[in-house]
């Protein structure tokens, strides 16, 4: 699964799952652009690790929800590394709460970043991929996008939208040599899930057949496979990485 010569962009690549993905793709030879919005220091730390291992990359700031910033980011990457051939739409936020406690602003913010950011980055990167007739687009979803989740109406809606978006554009881009897939993690050990794990960790572990929480590297491995030539005949699919949690009743 070598990616030497490929240019990858990982949005939200400075922390958590995005960080693990950036490091994994770099270890396989890709030049990796690490996108961040606020975490400049964390992004630079990831870049330093990549460089210390003999890899190549750059840190690039941009709010994926803002179309012009995405376009500027793509131009900066192209000037320093080349056109993006592997896009990982990982950037996302959540604002959890029961439906009646959430205002419309929370829905707009989550949808603008999670769905709007995926849309903006895909649109910006796809042009170059179409010209090259080669590309990989991998969107980060969640198991809640298919099975729901209490207190997560806005987040669930955004991930369900990403699943639908993945399937739709896979049909549009297939004739151009571009594959589009999504990875749907379960309970992964990151800052995003820290509070939930503290409050309901035992409950989740009891439902996970593999009896452990996932690590960011578990997700990164699936992303790396989908980025590789071994996955050239796979498109429009949602790959669940959850230790079997999705097989359990809703919790």
Residue (of 11, 154, 5) closest to 83 by Cα position = 5
Measured in degrees and rounded to the nearest 5, phi and psi for residue 116 equal -60, -40
233: annotated active-site residue: no
How far are the Cα atoms of 64, 92, 128, 132, 166 from residue 178, in angstroms, in the given order? 21, 23, 11, 10, 12
Cβ-proximal residues to 56 (8 Å cutoff; 6+ apart), any chain: 26, 31, 32, 50, 81
Catalytic residue among 36, 119, 155, 204: 155
- Are the C-beta atoms of 126 and 78 separated by less than 8 Å? no
How far CA 115 is from CA of 37, 109, 156, in Å, comes to 16, 10, 11
Annotated catalytic residues are: 155
């Amino acid at each position: 699964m070598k990616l030497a010569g490929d240019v990858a962009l990982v949005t939200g690549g400075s922390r958590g799952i995005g960080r693990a993905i950036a490091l994994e793709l770099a270890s396989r030879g890709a030049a990796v652009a690490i996108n961040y919005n606020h975490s400049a220091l964390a992004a630079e730390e990831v870049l330093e690790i990549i460089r210390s291992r003999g890899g190549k990359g750059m840190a690039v700031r941009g709010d994926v929800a803002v179309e012009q910033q995405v376009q500027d980011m793509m131009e900066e990457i192209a000037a320093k590394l080349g056109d993006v051939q592997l896009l990982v739409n990982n950037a996302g936020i959540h604002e959890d709460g029961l439906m009646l406690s959430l205002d419309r602003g929370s829905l707009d913010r989550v949808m603008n970043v999670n769905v709007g950011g995926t849309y903006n980055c895909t649109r910006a990167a796809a042009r170059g991929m179409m010209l090259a007739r080669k590309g990989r687009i991998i969107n980060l979803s969640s198991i809640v996008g298919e099975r729901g989740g209490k207190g997560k109406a806005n987040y669930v809606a955004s991930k369900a939208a990403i699943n639908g978006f993945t399937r739709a554009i896979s049909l549009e881009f297939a004739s151009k040599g571009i594959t589009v897939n999504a990875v749907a993690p379960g309970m992964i050990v990151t800052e995003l899930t820290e509070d939930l794990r503290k409050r309901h960790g035992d409950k989740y572990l009891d439902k996970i057949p593999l009896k452990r929480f996932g690590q960011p590297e578990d997700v990164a491995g699936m992303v790396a496979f989908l980025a590789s030539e071994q996955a050239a005949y796979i498109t429009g699919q949602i790959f669940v990485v959850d230790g079997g949690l999705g097989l359990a009743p809703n919790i």
